[in-house]
């Protein structure tokens, strides 16, 4: 089975008495988009960390393309994942340097291609293009623009799996729409996993997983779900 599977996965943080994840069964198909939703504390981040091999299940198994996730294949798994958090991190250097740091072998064309996905409109209009220093006076990037460069950088790593952890939650509707367009284009090319609140973000997902108190309470495509839409 191509993709990521969780089989009866349970996980508890050492400091907690309750399980953060309780007998999770889940299949994230390769090159599809899966959204994980649910209230704060439901276990979304814990589940993502499990899929990325950062949490080791106490019970059950995580399988990648049918192979159990073991300590000795964790590194190659992590290298195949790009993770975009809610608060984007950029170095205070040029956009070019921020991009190249994740893939020093990337060609100019590859760099532009990645930027094209997420940040084309404003990067082209910057006075010094990719050599614009982020944070320079007069060329301040908005939070939304910074987040879109972080997304472009994540894409430049050419990951098998792209994880967006509330990565668009703080964006205004215009930037959020731009990111959605980028994700639409990436659909079918890589596995995309998004944790999100906004319906606009999860509408395009082939699979939506609703977590509550460490359990999957609903699973299906957007239209099948009995959510308060
Ligand atoms: P969500 O991402 O849906 O908000 P989390 O996965 O962060 O939920 O949290 C699930 C549960 O695990 C919560 O009860 C939370 O308090 C607990 N938890 C999360 N991270 C830690 C941690 N590092 N140590 C202890 N408990 C944690
Ligand atoms: P490479 O796979 O090209 O060797 P590295 O693993 O050295 O890249 O990571 C370079 C940068 O890419 C890191 O500083 C980090 O920002 C990002 N990165 C690497 N691995 C991950 C990951 N699993 N999830 C999210 N970001 C990552």
**pLDDT confidence of residue 137:** 60
Cβ of 117 below 6 Å from ligand 2: no
pLDDT tens digits along 78-91: 889 999 998 888 99
The residue length of the chain stands at 229
The rounded distance, in Å, linking the Cα atoms of 120 and 158 is: 18
CA 20 – ligand 1 centroid, Å: 6
Ligand positioned closest to the Cα atom of 18: 1
- Backbone torsion region of residue 43, taken as left when φ is above 0, otherwise alpha when ψ lies between -120 and 50, otherwise beta: left
Residue 123 token pair: 């990067």
Helices 173-186, 143-156: inter-axial angle, 10-degree rounding:
10
Q: Ligand 1 pocket check: which of 11, 24, 41 to mutate, most ligand atoms within 8 Å of Cβ?
A: 41
CA torsion through residues 97, 160, 170, 215, sign: negative
Q: Is the ipTM of this complex over 0.90?
A: no
Please give the span between the terminal C-alpha atoms of the chain, in angstroms, as a whole number.
Answer: 32
Q: How far is the CA of 26 from the centre of ligand 1 (A)?
A: 19
Report the pLDDT value the prediction gives residue 138, as an integer from 0 to 100: 60
Structural tokens at position 189:
């090319």
Give the ligand 2 atom nearest the CA of 78. Answer: 23
* pTM of the predicted protein model: 0.85
Which residues have C-beta within 8 Å of that of residue 19, sequence separation ≥ 6?
10, 11, 12, 214
Q: How many CB atoms lie within 10 A of CB 76?
A: 10
Q: Does the Cβ of 76 fall within 6 Å of ligand 2?
A: no
pLDDT given at position 121: 82
**128 Cβ inside 6 Å of ligand 2:** no
Q: Which residues of the chain have pLDDT under 50?
A: none
Q: Rounded to 5 degrees, what are φ and ψ at 190?
A: -150, 160
Per the CB < 8 A criterion, the answer to whether 115 and 152 are in contact is yes
The predicted pLDDT at position 228 comes to 55
Task: Name the residue with tokens 């472009």.
Answer: 152
* DSSP-derived pairing of the beta strands 191-195 and 33-37: parallel
Q: Which residues contact 5 (CB under 8 A, 6 or more apart)?
A: 26, 27, 28, 62, 63, 66
Is residue 83 lining ligand 2, measured as CB closer than 6 Å?
yes
């Amino acid at each position: 089975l191509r993709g990521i599977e969780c089989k009866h996965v349970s996980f508890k943080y050492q400091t907690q008495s309750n399980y953060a994840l309780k007998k999770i069964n889940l299949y994230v198909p390769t090159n599809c988009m899966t959204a994980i939703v649910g209230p704060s504390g439901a276990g979304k981040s814990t589940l993502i960390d499990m899929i990325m091999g950062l949490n080791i299940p106490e019970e059950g198994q995580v399988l990648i393309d049918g192979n159990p996730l073991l300590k000795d294949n964790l590194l190659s798994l992590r290298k195949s994942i790009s993770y975009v958090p809610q608060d984007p991190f950029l170095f205070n250097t040029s956009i070019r340097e921020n991009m190249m740091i994740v893939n020093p072998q990337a060609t100019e064309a590859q760099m532009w291609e990645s930027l094209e996905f997420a940040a084309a409109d404003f990067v082209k209009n910057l006075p010094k293009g990719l050599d614009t220093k982020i944070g320079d006076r007069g060329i301040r990037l908005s939070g939304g623009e910074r987040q879109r460069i972080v997304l472009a950088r994540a894409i430049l790593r050419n990951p098998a799996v792209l994880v967006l952890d509330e990565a668009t939650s703080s964006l205004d509707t215009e930037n959020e729409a731009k990111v959605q367009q980028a994700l639409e284009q990436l659909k079918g090319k890589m596995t995309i996993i998004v944790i999100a609140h906004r319906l606009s973000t999860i509408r395009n997902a082939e699979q939506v997983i609703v977590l509550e108190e460490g359990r999957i309470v609903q699973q299906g495509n957007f239209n099948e779900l009995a959510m308060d839409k």
